[in-house]
Amino acid sequence: MNKKFHTIGLIARHHAVGVRSTLCQLGDFLNERNYKILLESSIAKELDNWEFGSASPEEISKNSDLIIVVGGDGTLLHAARGMADRNIPLLGINLGRLGFLTDISPDNMHQALEQILDGNYEKEERFLLQAEVGKPGETGESSTAFNEVVIHKWNVARMIEFETYVDGRFVETQRADGLIIATPTGSTAYALSGGGPLLDPTLNALVLVPICPHTLSNRPIVVSGDCEIDIVICGRTDPKNVRVTCDGDNSLISSTDDRIHIAKYEHSIQLIHPSGHDHFNLLRHKLGWSEHPVKK
């Protein structure tokens, strides 16, 4: 049988509970099937009994056909942003809490991997966002986000004031603690906590969710994923008291006359799921939705 993948990169969350044993099991499993393995060097050094290949994140991104992420959704978010330009499919082993993205349990890891490595899997393409902060017409500081871009207050207890534009069209001026611009992937994350809707991950859409708005009629808005969003800090808000955070990780700092521009990133992410993957089943399980009772 022709292999779909030949070199498999392993990315893991440092110090996650169970990460060492899971990585060692993965190494043995893949080595027995003659796959070339590349584990992040910094983690390989922490494993006393790691006998397989290791490499830097840059080398992993250049040489891997598949990347297996061991950790929680945050670990996969970090890997997705780093690997987006390489178009390498990602597969997640869940050692975190919810696991919307890392949807394979360590308990059935071997069975799921057997099917996937034999070519029985589902591939899903999802888009990222790019946020850029700078003067209009100039290239500013930028960062990518897989879940969401959040404009939020910083070091102050009061609300911030900002204008929102969609494709150059003025939407509104509002006072709030901030604004979440989320992808369908991110609709189950911070946007959900802020009262936003759940979006099917295959939709080409964005959701704009205000954070604790002053005017209660300010509700979440869903727009096309091809729309370009611009945010302008206004009123008495000092831009120094505003931050732009991508996936809760990278933060950009705004200054006077800056425009915050959010648009779809030019590269997308490929996620690998076991055959029969059902997004609604995932939602029922992770969010505790009720199910029909089993007939006896």
Give a yes or no: residue 72 inside a domain.
yes
197/218 Cα distance (integer angstroms): 14
Q: What b/e readout covers 75-106, taking b as 16+ CB neighbours within 10 angstroms?
A: bbbbbbbbbbeeebbbbbbbbbebbbbbbbeb
Domain end (from 102, 119, 136): 119
Domain encompassing residue 169 = 128-266
Judge whether 220 and 208 are in contact, CB under 8 Å: yes
Q: How many domains does the chain have?
A: 2
Domain end (from 64, 93, 119): 119
Tell me, rounded to whole angstroms, the distance of Cα 33 from its chain centroid. Answer: 30
Least confident range of 40-44, 103-107, 188-192, 207-211: 103-107
Mean pLDDT of the chain: 92
Q: Evaluate the CA torsion angle 128, 142, 218, 224 in order and state its sign.
A: negative
Does residue 51 sit in the same domain as residue 147? no
Domain end (from 119, 151, 185): 119
Does residue 190 sit in the same domain as residue 96? no
Considering only CA atoms, give the Rg of the chain. 21
Does residue 97 sit in the same domain as residue 177? no
Give a yes or no: residue 87 inside a domain.
yes
What's the token pair of residue 122? 């589902």
pLDDT of residue 49: 80
Give a yes or no: residue 282 inside a domain.
no
Give a yes or no: residue 276 inside a domain.
no
Give a yes or no: residue 287 inside a domain.
no
Give a yes or no: residue 291 inside a domain.
no
Judge whether 74 and 46 are in contact, CB under 8 Å: no
pLDDT of residue 2: 64
Closest by CA to 194, choosing from 185, 204, 207, 175, is 207
Does residue 30 sit in the same domain as residue 143? no
Q: What is the CATH number of the domain that holds 68?
A: 3.40.50.10330
What's the token pair of residue 241? 């008291």
Whole-model pTM: value is 0.91
Least confident range of 9-23, 154-168, 238-252: 9-23
Does residue 158 sit in the same domain as residue 254? yes
198/216 Cα distance (integer angstroms): 20
The amino acid present at 74, given as its one-letter code, is G
Give a yes or no: residue 273 inside a domain.
no
Does residue 78 sit in the same domain as residue 140? no
Q: What is the pLDDT of residues 108-126, one digit of tens each?
A: 899 999 999 999 999 999 9
Q: What is the CATH number of the domain that holds 169?
A: 2.60.200.30
Closest by CA to 33, choosing from 8, 54, 62, is 8
Does residue 11 sit in the same domain as residue 96? yes
Give a yes or no: residue 99 inside a domain.
yes
Given the residues 48, 65, 73, 226, select the one marked as catalytic.
73
pLDDT of residue 7: 96
239/45 Cα distance (integer angstroms): 43
Does residue 163 sit in the same domain as residue 251? yes
Does residue 138 sit in the same domain as residue 222? yes
pLDDT-based confidence at residue 296 (cuts at 50, 70, 90): low
Does residue 100 sit in the same domain as residue 17? yes
Does residue 135 sit in the same domain as residue 187? yes
Closest by CA to 80, choosing from 50, 96, 102, is 102
Judge whether 92 and 101 are in contact, CB under 8 Å: yes
- Establish whether 177 is a catalytic residue: no
